[in-house]
A and B are shown apart, each in its own frame.
Chain A
Amino acid sequence: MAEQIVSPLPGTFYRKPSPDEPNFKDEGDTVAVGDVIGLVEVMKTFNEVKADKAGTIASFAVDNEEAVMAGQPLVELG
């Protein structure tokens, strides 16, 4: 059964550390527990989202700079 990494906070999801840098992770990449998969900006503060399970990224459930709720899936692991 497919597993997910969810957003710990409500806010805005970012896939890269800054606009000019590459994505933290892309589809097909493997993730280990503790890897940063993105940032969630909440009230002008940026928080790293770390993988709480290992696997391979099948897809991103939200786009870069999209609004997310706490508990909303960000990544589907294959």
Chain B
Amino acid sequence: MAISKLLIANRGEIAVRIIRAAQALGIRTVQAHSMADADSLAVQMADEAVNIGPPHAAKSYLKVDAVLEAAKSSGADAVHPGYGFLSENAAFAQAVEDAGLIFVGPKPETISRLGDKAAARAAAEAAGVPTVPGSAGLIDSVEAAREAAERIGYPVMIKASAGGGGRGIKIAENADELAKLVSQARSEAQAAFGDGSLYMEKLVRNARHIEVQVLGDGTDAVHCFERECSMQRRRQKVWEEAPSAALDDAKRQAICTSAVDLARSVGYRGAGTLEYLYDDASGAFYFIEMNTRIQVEHPVTEMITGIDLVQEMIRIAAGEKLRLKQSDIALKGHAIECRINAEDPSNGFMPAPGTVERLVVPEAAHVRFDTLLYEGYTIPPFYDSLLGKLIVHGPDRATAIDRMAAALDGLTIEGFKTTVALHKALAQSADVRANAIHTQYLEPWLEAHPIPS
């Protein structure tokens, strides 16, 4: 293999996951770590470790120069960026390549292209992948807004160009509301962002979040079926499944094929995920964006396909062609992942880091726990609250939910509060069992069903 020593430019459970994949491929590992992560599980597991700076990510994990220097000084020939941090930073990927090293991910130009919302949307349209209907560019008058809304269909969202993360969005149900809201939105956007530009998108009520896993080698691409991640709190995924129980075989085929079309059309290299909104009422799906990295919830896909996605992305980065044809990839059973966070669900999901006093992990052939935890470890407060991911597989969805409930009962983490109690409640919920959920479901449900401490 063209890679003999891999630098892991990340931390936490994904660093552990990448080290395991590298070990299975016979690759030596170097863990880049901040001062706060010197005693992390990943540092203990890696063959070597390099301190890249102070605890704050801006001074360590996000510092391109420090990460590159660690790669060079340790003699690594490749860099795996994990998720978050520098994983979708095209300048970093370019700097890695300019240093003569292999970046485990897409080409820098693919990262920039797909990271730009408008360019990604254009790429999707060119590949024949449906996108959320919207105004063609900015709307400059109430009349133009009305014409666009007639074409898109009500309800529509009026969005501020300079907004983001849900800010500056208004919903119009009909033409009268639209006229009022457009001028209101314009002055509010001007006041809030110094830019009154607006555009419009169709509102998909009670949408599901469905995403397709792809692997590409720069020429060819395959899909590894879809995941459903509709259970979200504050836009953070909480509980993920593969496949989506909302899709029938024909719809699954359509959405997964569209993802491969887009991945092929951009010459995608590595593991990637295409996110879609799915409208249960109409059966329509709309491409939103592509994430050009491995995702947190990749294990559910591994459980239903038997493919080790992290190993595959390393092989591809080393220059191998795709080893799998689409016809080799079969969907078997159903998998669920619960994100276990250091947060107190009985107290507004307040982060609650601490020291692991006791850790008991359920063991069974159909259970997997990807984690950064070990007994005696003190969780640093400087990073996100993800401690691990409990993943189960079953022959069908109902069995998988039963197995998740049992696995949650078998998981003991003592020393601080975690979100295990939330997942136990979800596993007993009739709506979860009926898959009667959508991306706006969890927060009102939590209001009505507070998690006891």
> Smallest Cβ distance from B343 to chain A, in angstroms?
8
Among A10, A12, A41, A45, point to the contact of B350 (Cβ < 8 A): A45
In the assembled complex, which residues on chain B have CB atoms less than 8 Å from the CB atom of A10?
Answer: 353, 380-381
Question: B interface, how many residues as a size bin?
Answer: 10 to 19
Specify which chain A residues have a CB less than 8 angstroms from the CB of B36 in the assembled complex. 67
In Å, the complex CA distance between A11 and B54 comes to 13
Tell me, in angstroms, the Cα distance from A10 to B385 when the chains sit together: 13
B55 touches A43 (CB 8 A): no
Q: How far is B380's CA from A42's CA once the two chains are assembled, in angstroms? A: 9
A43 touches B56 (CB 8 A): no
Q: Which residues of A contact B55 (CB under 8 A)?
A: 67
The digit string for A45-68, where 1 denotes a CB below 8 A from any CB of B, is: 101000000000000000001010
Within the complex, the shortest CB–CB distance from B167 to chain A, in Å, comes to: 16
Q: Interface 1/0s, chain B 49-83, versus A by CB < 8 A?
A: 00000111000000000000000000000000000
User: B340 at the A/B interface (Cβ < 8 Å)?
Assistant: no
Q: Which residues from chain A contact B54 at a C-beta distance below 8 Å? A: 67
How many A residues touch B, CB cutoff 8 Å? 12
Judge if A9 is at the interface, Cβ distance under 8 Å: yes
1/0 contact string of B376-395 vs chain A (CB within 8 Å): 00001111110000000000
Q: Which residues of B contact A43 (CB under 8 A)?
A: 342-343, 351, 353, 381-385
- Chain B residues with CB under 8 Å of A65's CB are 56
Task: Indicate if the CB atoms of A12 and B351 lie closer than 8 Å.
Answer: no
* Binary per-residue interface labels of chain A (14-55) against chain B in the complex, 1 for a CB within 8 Å, 0 otherwise: 000000000000000000000000000111110100000000
| A28, chain B: closest CB distance, angstroms | 29
Chain B residues within 8 Å of A12, by CB: 56, 381-382
Q: How far is the CA of A45 from the CA of B341 in the complex (A)?
A: 13
CA distance A67 to B383 in the complex (A): 12
Tell me the complex Cα distance, A76–B36, Å.
Answer: 27
Closest to B343 in A: A43
Q: A43-B342, A67-B55 are in contact. Are A11 and B382 (CB under 8 A)?
A: yes
Please encode chain B, from 87 to 117, with 1 for each CB lying within 8 Å of some chain A CB and 0 for all others: 0000000000000000000000000000000
Q: Would A67 and B382 be within 8 Å (CB), given that A12-B56, A43-B342 are in contact?
A: yes
Task: For the complex formed, measure the closest distance between the CB of A58 and the CB atoms of chain B, giving whole angstroms.
Answer: 27
- Nearest CB of chain B from residue A20's CB, rounded to whole Å: 14
A61 to B280, CA, bound (A): 56
The complex places the Cα of A39 from the Cα of B342 at a distance, in Å, of 20
Distance in angstroms between the alpha carbons of A57 and B82 in the assembled complex: 44
Contacts of B325-355 to chain A: CB distance below 8 A = 342-343, 350-351, 353
A42→B350 CA distance, assembly (Å): 9
In the complex, the answer to whether A42 meets B351 with C-beta atoms within 8 Å is: yes
CA distance in complex: A65, B385 (Å):
20
- Using CB atoms, name the residue of chain B closest to A10: B381
Residues of B within 8 A of A47 (CB): 350
Looking at the assembled complex, report how far the CB atom of A47 sits from the nearest CB atom of chain B, in whole angstroms.
8
A11 and chain B: residue at smallest CB distance: B381
Which residues of the other chain, A, contact B384 by a CB distance below 8 angstroms?
A: 43-44
Q: Give 13 pairs: A residue, B residue, CB < 8 Å, sorted on A.
A: A10-B381, A41-B381, A42-B381, A43-B351, A43-B381, A43-B382, A43-B383, A43-B384, A44-B383, A44-B384, A44-B385, A67-B55, A67-B56
**Hey, which bits of chain B sit against chain A, CB under 8 A?**
36, 54-56, 342-343, 350-351, 353, 380-385
**Chain A residues with a Cβ under 8 A of chain B:** 9-12, 41-45, 47, 65, 67
Q: What are the 3 tightest A-B residue pairs by CB atom distance, in nearest-first order? A: A43-B351, A11-B381, A10-B381
Given A12-B56, A44-B351, 15 more contacts at CB 8 Å?
A11-B381, A11-B382, A12-B382, A41-B381, A42-B351, A42-B381, A43-B381, A43-B383, A43-B384, A43-B385, A44-B384, A44-B385, A45-B351, A67-B54, A67-B56
